């Protein structure tokens, strides 16, 4: 299996991850924290049928993202595209040859009333 190369990853996504922080009275809360580096990625478009179904029924759209195999992307992360579009990572997988690439199946998060 041939690995993915950097020139095949045209986008640079911001990664946000939920982290637990202590508050001033000794309690804990969680908040989204943006990681320091953007991650090179290739983001696929949802299938036409899935787009139509989402418009009609308000269902979710799955988009597949590919990254370098050592990218720090995890289940639950939020990925932000240059245009502000938000993707939530449902899960990540490596192919049988781990050094090839990292794949993340993501849910497109749309604001109420948006039609993409």
Per-residue pLDDT tens for 101-111? 999 999 988 76
Cα–Cα dist 107/87, whole Å: 5
Average pLDDT over residues 41-45: 93
- Is 106 in contact with 13 (CB distance < 8 Å)? no
Residue 69 in this model has a pLDDT that exceeds 80 = yes
- Domain annotation for the chain: domains and CATH numbers: 6-109 (2.40.10.270)
Average pLDDT, the chain: 86
Per-residue pLDDT tens for 10-31? 999 999 999 988 888 888 888 8
pTM: 0.81
Cα–Cα dist 62/64, whole Å: 7
Paired residues of 40 in beta bridges: 12
Residue whose structure tokens are 């998060």: 109
- Is 5 in contact with 101 (CB distance < 8 Å)? no
- Non-local (6+) Cβ contacts of 44 within 8 A are 63, 64, 65
């Amino acid at each position: 299996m041939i690995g993915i190369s950097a020139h095949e990853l045209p986008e640079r996504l911001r990664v946000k991850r939920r982290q637990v922080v202590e508050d001033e009275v000794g309690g804990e809360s969680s908040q989204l924290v943006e990681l320091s580096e953007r991650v090179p990625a290739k983001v696929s478009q949802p299938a036409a049928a899935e787009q139509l179904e989402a418009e009609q029924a308000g269902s979710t759209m799955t988009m597949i993202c590919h990254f370098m195999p050592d990218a720090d992307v995890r289940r639950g992360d939020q990925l932000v595209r240059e245009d502000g579009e938000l993707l939530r990572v449902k899960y990540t997988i490596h192919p049988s040859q781990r050094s090839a690439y990292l794949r993340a199946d993501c849910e497109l998060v749309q604001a109420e009333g948006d039609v993409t």
